Amino acid sequence: MSSRLKSSIFVAAYIRRAEIEGGFAVLRHRGAEEAGAIFVKVDRLDGTAALYGPAPQSLITADDGIRRFIRLTPEGTTPLDAETRLQREFRFDPDLWVIEAEDRQGRHFLDLAVE
């Protein structure tokens, strides 16, 4: 079995990558240090946003240690709607991590699971 990076290291690397690529990302909520679930809210700054969260195990074909994500909101979601969905996730798991990103191109900088 492969081990994944600690959540704290993944989040720091994600924020750095967004900066290198010309995006903007900040840690909005710190979760469990070792293995807290990570959610990424991407605001396109045009009235739309997307929320990404951990992919279910059923969509992960190999345990290669890579965190995989899925989009949790449909195209055209507003930032407020994405925030509402995120608050539902908080009620389920208060130890989650939240990264808030802004990118006019809507880049998420994540490895997505194939649905």
Q: What is the pLDDT of residue 1?
A: 43
Tell whether 88 is covered by a domain.
yes
Could you tell me what percent of the chain has a pLDDT over 70? 86
pLDDT one-digit tens code per residue, 26-82: 999 999 877 789 999 999 999 999 999 998 877 666 666 678 899 999 999 999 999
Tell whether 49 is covered by a domain.
yes
Q: What is the domain count for the chain? A: 1
Residue 74: give the domain boundaries: 7-102
Q: What is the pLDDT of residue 33?
A: 79
> What are the counts of helices (DSSP H) followed by strands (DSSP E) for the chain?
2, 5
Given a cut of 50, whether residue 102 has pLDDT beyond it is yes
Q: How far is C-alpha 21 from the geometric centre of its chain's CA atoms?
A: 16
Helix (H, G, I), strand (E, B) or coil at 1: coil
Tell whether 91 is covered by a domain.
yes
Tell whether 107 is covered by a domain.
no
What is the average per-residue pLDDT within 82-105?
94
Q: What is the pLDDT of residue 35?
A: 73
CATH number at residue 69: 3.40.1530.20
| DSSP secondary structure letter of residue 62 | S
Tell whether 113 is covered by a domain.
no
- Cβ-count burial of 57 within 10 angstroms (0-12 exposed, 13-18 middle, 19+ buried)? exposed
Tell whether 110 is covered by a domain.
no
